Amino acid sequence: MASSLQAPIILVDGLTARFGDDTIFEGVSFQVNPGEILVILGGSGCGKSTLLKHLIGLYQPAAGKVILSGIDMRTDDGRELRQVKMGMGVLFQSGALFGSMTLAENVALPLQEYTDLSQREIDLIVRMKLALVNLAGYENHLPEEISGGMKKRAGLARAMALDPRVLFFDEPSAGLDPISAAELDILIKSINTGLGTTMVVVTHELESIFSIAHRVIMLDKSARGIIAQGDPRELKDHSPDPRVADFFNRRPGTGRQPQGN
Question: What is the chain's pLDDT, residue by residue, as a tens digit (261 residues)?
Answer: 544 567 899 999 999 999 999 999 999 999 999 999 999 999 888 999 999 999 999 999 999 999 999 999 887 778 888 888 889 999 987 668 999 999 999 999 999 998 999 999 999 999 999 999 999 999 999 999 999 999 999 999 999 999 999 999 999 988 889 999 999 999 999 999 999 999 999 998 999 999 999 999 999 999 999 999 999 999 999 999 999 999 999 887 655 556 544
- To 10 degrees, the CA torsion angle through 167, 2, 228, 201? 10
Beta bridge partners of 217: 40, 229
- How many C-beta atoms lie closer than 10 Å to residue 171's C-beta? 20
Q: Return the pLDDT at 20.
A: 92
- To 10 degrees, the CA torsion angle through 183, 189, 190, 196? 160
Q: Return the pLDDT at 252.
A: 79
- How many C-beta atoms lie closer than 10 Å to residue 237's C-beta? 11
CA–CA separation, 30 and 41 (whole Å): 14
Residue 118's contacts (CB-CB under 8 Å, 6 or more residues apart) are none
Q: Return the pLDDT at 66.
A: 96
Q: Return the pLDDT at 3.
A: 47
Q: Return the pLDDT at 118.
A: 97
Q: Return the pLDDT at 261.
A: 45
Closest CA to 84 of 188, 168, 192: 168
Q: Return the pLDDT at 253.
A: 60
